[in-house]
Structure 1
Amino acid sequence: DDNLFYIRHKGSSNTKKCRVVCSAEEADSLFKEFHSSNIGAHFGQLKTRDAISQRYYWPGMSADIEKWVSQCTVCQKNKKDIKLKTDLKPIKVKTPFELVGMDLIGKLAKSDQENQYICVIIDYCTRWAQAYPLKSKSAAEVTQSILKFVYQFEVPKRILTDQGREFVNTINTEVCKMLGIKRSLCAPYHPQTNGLVERLNGTLQRALAKLVEDKPNTWDQYLDAVMFGLRTKKQLTTQFSPFYLMFGREAR
């Protein structure tokens, strides 16, 4: 272990063990793994740097990553101006699954599996998110996504959605009533109320666009990898990854 060492960030009492990267070739390989792979999903400078720095170190690492991300041809090709919305007061929660936000992405290019939508559910406490590919936005399919989430984790106390018919319908209402889930609805024409899931939607769509490039019908093949990447990246608001807040450790 002669190439392992401990680093402590200035002003912090936290110490972590990182492996020293000894060559430019290895550093370049790591950048491709953490940025350009399906899990890396061409996320930005901060997420890429945070992911690499959890495990590796080399002198000038931050500057190198900033340069490489700015020169990434896929990122530049798919770069879009991101308009920041008016800041809203954050919704305060104390425990996981106290509140989850739910929304749909689509209509997307029909995949080989005939999927055209993504049902996204995110926990407001841990920022853990799930994304389920759907063939349609019917009440039955969308409600099935809620059941999948429940079977994987637990029954959330409250679900926040917009007032679309895919969410406000007899099937959805009855299932939530049966499970004891309270419903909250965003005001019409004001989706920012569910701002956390709206931001996730944008991040997810940009990542998928960069990975599919000229094969838009393959987006659902990348969905699980992109979601794993999102769950293992540190969030600016919590300063932890959703994975850490769910399991008490970082992913291997």
Structure 2
Amino acid sequence: YYIRVKLDGSIHYCLVVPNSLKKAALETAHADHFGQKKTIQKVEEIFYWAGYRGDVVKFVKGCKSCQEYKEGRHLRRRWQVLPPAEKPLDRVSVDLTDLINGYQGYRYVLTVMCHYSRFVVFYPLRNKTSETVSRNMRKYFLMIGVPRQMIADRGTEFTGFEFQQLCINFGVKINHTLPFHPQGNSITERMHRTFKTTIAVMSEQSPLSWPKYLDDAAHALNTAVHATTGAQPYFAFFSRHMRRYVGVPLPSIENEEREGLSEAHNIIRETSKRLSKKILDIANRGRYDENVNVGDLVWVLNEYQIPGTARKLNKKWTGPYRVEHVIREGAAYKLSNPFEPERNHLSRAAEKIKRFYPETEFQEVVEREPEEDTEDEPIPEPIVEEPALRYPKRVRKPKVPYSP
């Protein structure tokens, strides 16, 4: 036995565990799947062996059930931004937002936003099929212009045949964001927050009539000075100011749209770059990059819900998956199933994966049989552990009452 004397003076007899039974002892102490601290406390109550604390840390870290069901810590990465657009329609982003069923059966809003000017256009939709989205995007191409590049998520409305064929016919290069990663289309996602507030205020008296106010909301957003560019989206897109009207039309300066346009666009580009860098530096303050290498095993955040089950009771992570390719210096990873390497390839952002730790293996030590000895060997004395002082280097003397 191992005798442990605690701070309160109580004595506990613990079993001294041989190397061959360490795994069984750890499984007993970790049967409730608590963390490292509580598992160490359970081991100290029953067992003892040299270096048990380090073995507990490795065993808990490699527990498969704990890695699947507990939140854990995903890979940390610094935020990245796309290279700035140089002119209108150089890059646009599209996205859908879901509102309530309103006037004439409209429910969804298709948003098209120019990255250079932040000029935005809204289209009300009754459904979000690929055919419906393609029909409205064709209106944008014919009435506003054809962009060089387009960013969209991986919804079926943007990955369907009709939408893909539309982009091919007009020569638009489409880039899809990573699955379950709305940060890849952050400009449109952030604008949706402002748009929902604006449309809610405009349709306060009749919320179901929100489709009637889409043009008013777009006008309000396009004529307000944007914080990133320092200019009105309308001016940055069309290179001229919208006609001013406040009850009565205001006079305009002759040829104002022709003077200094090149300088104005240079200011817009420089302002956008400077403010984007400032925001990125603030967002990345205190952040650092964590990477995994090709061939490593990782867990993937479970974004799916099994029908008929509670989401909170499902596994938080699925896998393990093997890293096949590193995308954009560790911002994302291409993964594969190690049991079916030719199938089930998927791509995930670094924030959606975490490291996989294998189970701890204990090597069995072959004990030699003791040699026969006729002499009686003395019985070894039990190991006694003295209680550790809480402050071994700072022992305060008891206070002595003052006596005159």
- Out of 80, 90, 104, the residue aligned to residue 96 of structure 2 is 104
Q: Does 1:133 align with 2:136?
A: no
The 5-angstrom pairing of residues 37-186 of structure 1 reads 88-106=80-98, 108-186=99-177
Q: CA deviation at 1:88?
A: 4.2
Quote the sequence identity (%): 28
What's the CA shift string for 1:148-203, capped at 9, x where partnerless?
11011221111100000011011111111111111101111111111111111111
- Out of 226, 237, 242, the residue aligned to residue 228 of structure 2 is 237
Correspondence for 2:178:
187
Q: Which amino acid aligns with 2:225?
A: K
What's the CA shift string for 1:31-83, capped at 9, x where partnerless?
xxxxxxxxxxxxxxxxxxxxxxxxxxxxxxxxxxxxxxxxxxxxxxxxxxxxx
Q: Conserved in 1, the CA contact under 8 Å of 2:88 and 2:236?
A: no
Correspondence for 1:48:
none
- Gaps spanning 5+ residues in structure 2: where? 1-77, 245-404
> What is the SS of the residue equivalent to 1:194?
helix
Q: CA deviation at 1:87?
A: 5.6
Q: CA deviation at 1:247?
A: 2.7
CA distance in 2: counterparts of 1:154 and 1:116, whole angstroms = 26
Q: CA deviation at 1:215?
A: 2.4
Q: CA deviation at 1:206?
A: 1.1
CA distance in 1: counterparts of 2:183 and 2:220, whole angstroms = 24
> What is the SS of the residue equivalent to 1:174?
helix
CA distance in 1: counterparts of 2:239 and 2:88, whole angstroms = 13
> What is the SS of the residue equivalent to 1:93?
coil
Q: CA deviation at 1:216?
A: 1.9
Q: Which amino acid aligns with 2:96?
A: L
Q: Which amino acid aligns with 1:100?
A: V
Q: Which amino acid aligns with 2:88?
A: P
Q: Which amino acid aligns with 1:231?
A: N
Q: CA deviation at 1:243?
A: 0.9
Correspondence for 2:219:
228
Correspondence for 1:25:
none
> What is the SS of the residue equivalent to 2:103?
coil
TM-score (norm 1): 0.63
Structure-2 change in CA distance of 1:240 and 1:87 (3 Å): farther
What's the CA shift string for 1:108-134, capped at 9, x where partnerless?
221221100000000111111100000
CA distance in 1: counterparts of 2:94 and 2:150, whole angstroms = 7
- Gaps spanning 5+ residues in structure 1: where? 1-85
Q: CA deviation at 1:144?
A: 1.2
Correspondence for 2:239:
248
> What is the SS of the residue equivalent to 2:121?
strand
CA distance in 2: counterparts of 1:140 and 1:227, whole angstroms = 24
CA distance in 2: counterparts of 1:96 and 1:221, whole angstroms = 28
User: Where has structure 1 moved over 3 Å in runs of 4 or more?
Assistant: none
CA distance in 1: counterparts of 2:121 and 2:83, whole angstroms = 19
Q: Which has the larger radius of gyration?
A: 2
> What is the SS of the residue equivalent to 1:167?
helix
> What is the SS of the residue equivalent to 1:229?
helix
CA distance in 2: counterparts of 1:199 and 1:190, whole angstroms = 14
Q: Which amino acid aligns with 2:158?
A: F
Q: Which amino acid aligns with 1:217?
A: L
CA distance in 1: counterparts of 2:103 and 2:223, whole angstroms = 28
> What is the SS of the residue equivalent to 1:113?
helix
Q: Which amino acid aligns with 1:248?
A: S
> What is the SS of the residue equivalent to 1:89?
coil
Q: CA deviation at 1:246?
A: 2.1
Q: Which amino acid aligns with 1:174?
A: Q
RMSD in angstroms over aligned alpha carbons?
A: 1.5
